[in-house]
Structure 1
Amino acid sequence: MQASPEFRKQMEGYGLTTAEIVYRLPDHPVLLQSYLWQDYDLFPDFPVLKGFLDFWIRTLDGPLFKVTVGHCRLIKPAELRALDGEFRLH
């Protein structure tokens, strides 16, 4: 049994990152639209989010207005500890 890729990322220090991306509509620049993005990323540099925003700027027509970021490490060092022993339940 192998650990999932998401669990491996969490063990490497990745945490769940959520970004609300507010952008202007290309046809109606006075109107704002909201997009919610979520992925595992590294705090405080956010390389995955920066890559997505670079893709957005290069490819999409809606110019960015504001990006709000929330981040939480799901597995913290104090929560993971080695246990010695084996317990069997019948």
Structure 2
Amino acid sequence: MACKIDRVLSPDGFIVLRVSGRIDCASVDVLQELTESEKAVNDRLALDLEEVTVVSPEAVRALTIAEGTGIELRNCPAYIREWISCVREHGLPE
């Protein structure tokens, strides 16, 4: 399944982008564009990653950067969280 992104406004005022499927190189660009445009409108932005099945190294890099800019990662699968922690500690190979 390709990456699917649904936009939801949560009761706590966050814009939540629910991401499902695979986040690959092509999906990363779309996700980055969406997060940048949404962040310009509302600083309270979250990515719900509960239904993400596969991520590319580029996706992990983008998620690490997004979280560093204040975007909340919700329901982040353990393997993605671990990879993000490794990227923060050691960086990603180029």
What TM-score comes out, normalization by structure 2 length? 0.31
| The structure with more helix, counted as a fraction of residues | 2
Larger radius of gyration: 1
- Superposition TM-score, scaled by structure 1 size: 0.32
